[in-house]
Amino acid sequence: MTTYLITGIAGFIGSALARAVLAQGDKVRGVDNFSTGRPENLDGIRDLIDFRETDILDLDAMNHACCGVDYVLHQAAIASVPKSVLEPLGNNRTNVDGTLNVLVAARDARVKRVVYAASSSAYGDGPIQPKHEDMSPDPISPYAVSKLAGEYYMVSFYRCYRLETVCLRYFNIFGPRQDPTSPYSGVLAKFISQMLSGERPTIFGDGETSRDFTHVDDAVRANLLACKAPAEQVVGRVFNVATGCPTTLKDTFRVLKKLTGYCGDPRYESERAGDVKHSRADISNAEKHLGYKPGVDFEQGLKKTVQWYRTQMERAGQELAAGD
């Protein structure tokens, strides 16, 4: 049986990966320090996986975690542009030092391949769209720098040690279980939960900011493909994982109004430091070499996600009422 180690398994992407790996009949080991991941994301699968509450900064723990593992899906990170602007040191420790620990442990345990959650933020704010992997990176925020440094480490571990690595540049992944409660939460999780609760969302900028929002099921598929794709086509390389179809924040708000039943208007505030204006991917390399195709249409994905948050809120309401 094949064993996958998922770092950041209690995050919304990590926990979706765990469910997909279990569904294909393979074994899952996972690590998380619950800094941003949530125990409830593992509800229903906790007994089916080998879970270890630990930090990727603990090299001993990572050495143990990599023992006997075939594939590492490295998702653990502090995933926020504004948080990295406020706390660049903490961002660097987890995203750069942590990634290096994962690589050293994976190399020493002779795992078959490491797939890394890289970020579209590496491209920065240049005018050329769509973003292609051959373009020079131009990171703006400390977060973008740290995720790009992780990529370079991935590539260097392939070049120096022949550890097979693949980098997937995620473009704004969204879907069920994404945490909406932090000021650093992804915009869709925030907007959906605010609008379902009748709270007024804030759009930073003029609303024309655009993102290539990508459903978590597509990110999961890309990871599983990256593990099995022929080495000569993918290792030591970087691939965009996206849809190729961007949406503005204004349009997103409009669609969410329909889906959530929210009646108000958004509040507008100035752009956040470190923000990129437009982000749209060229996904032809992923299509050609990974066999990846986005399968979830943006509005359909949003509809399913809104439904998931609605169900969670109804359940929380019922539990509260039962407790009274």
Q: Contact, 222 vs 173, CB < 8 A?
A: no
The catalytic position among 143, 170, 292, 309 is 143
Q: How far is the CB of 265 from ligand UD1 (least distance, A)?
A: 14
Q: Which region, left, alpha or beta, applies to residue 124 given φ > 0 means left and ψ of -120 to 50 means alpha?
A: left
Q: Is 167 helix (H, G, I), strand (E, B) or coil?
A: strand
Nearest-approach distance from CB 47 to ligand UD1, in angstroms:
30
Kindly tell me which of 41 and 279 has the beta carbon lying closer to ligand UD1: 279
Rg (CA), the chain: 19
User: Which residue number, 69 or 240, has a Cβ lying nearer to ligand UD1?
Assistant: 240
Least distance from ligand UD1 to the Cβ atom of residue 14, Å: 13
Contact 14, 7 (CB under 8 A): yes
Q: By C-beta, is 37 or 69 nearer to ligand UD1?
A: 37
Binding positions for ligand UD1, rule: CB under 6 A: 79-81, 119-121, 170-172, 186-187, 190, 201-205, 209, 211, 249, 272, 275-276, 279
Residue 231 CB, nearest approach to ligand UD1 (Å): 26
Q: In whole angstroms, what is the distance from residue 110 CA to residue 157 CA?
A: 12
How many angstroms separate the most distant Cα atoms in the chain? 61
Question: What angle (nearest 5°) sits at the alpha carbon of residue 248, between those of residues 297 and 166?
Answer: 60
Nearer to ligand UD1, 146 or 165 (CB): 146
Least Å distance, CB 321 to ligand UD1, is 29
The 3-class SS string of 4-20 reads EEEECCCCHHHHHHHHH
State yes or no: is 143 an active-site residue. Answer: yes
Which of residues 5 and 241 has its CB atom nearest to ligand UD1 in the complex? 241
161 vs 308, which CB is nearer to ligand UD1?
Answer: 308
Least Cβ distance, residue 122 to ligand UD1 (angstroms): 8
Residues serving a catalytic function are 143
